Amino acid sequence: DYSIEGLEGEVAVERKSLDDFVGTVVHARARFRRELRVLAGYRAACVVVEGAVADVLQQRYRGDAHPNAVLGSALSIILDYRIPVFFCGNRQAACQFTQAYLLAARKRWDR
């Protein structure tokens, strides 16, 4: 989704709306796992969700996935791939977090 020019194969942020995250981890799991395997090899990668954990628990997303399945998928990403998942509350916060993450990575690793 997002990276830094010159660090495309090393730093990435996969940003998703809550509906997209739920759809991806429930219905497009195999494809997403392939992407996660690639991201796991990066120096820095994360998944940023435009929604809060409370939104998941209260099932404020499209689809009939159980909240426990959605949270379990997020935990699998964190534990199996060592890729953090940040629930940022809303789109604006997710955009700000993504920008801050990429700027911090640039300061650390840009050549």
Q: What local confidence, expressed as pLDDT, does residue 80 receive?
A: 97
pLDDT, the chain, mean: 95
pTM of the model: 0.94
pLDDT at 29 over 90: no
Average pLDDT over residues 7-19: 96
Q: What local confidence, expressed as pLDDT, does residue 109 receive?
A: 85
Q: What local confidence, expressed as pLDDT, does residue 97 receive?
A: 98
Q: What local confidence, expressed as pLDDT, does residue 111 receive?
A: 59
What is 11-109's CATH number, 3.40.140.10, 3.40.50.2300, 3.30.365.10, 3.40.50.10130? 3.40.50.10130
3-state secondary structure 7-48: CCCCEEEEEEEHHHHHHHHHHCHHHHHHHHHHHHCCCEEEEE
What gap in Å lies between CA 104 and CA 22, rounded to an integer? 28
Would you kindly state where each structural domain of the chain is located, as residue ranges? 11-109
Which residues in 34-52 are b (16+ Cβ under 10 Å) and which e? ebbeebeebebbbbbbbbb
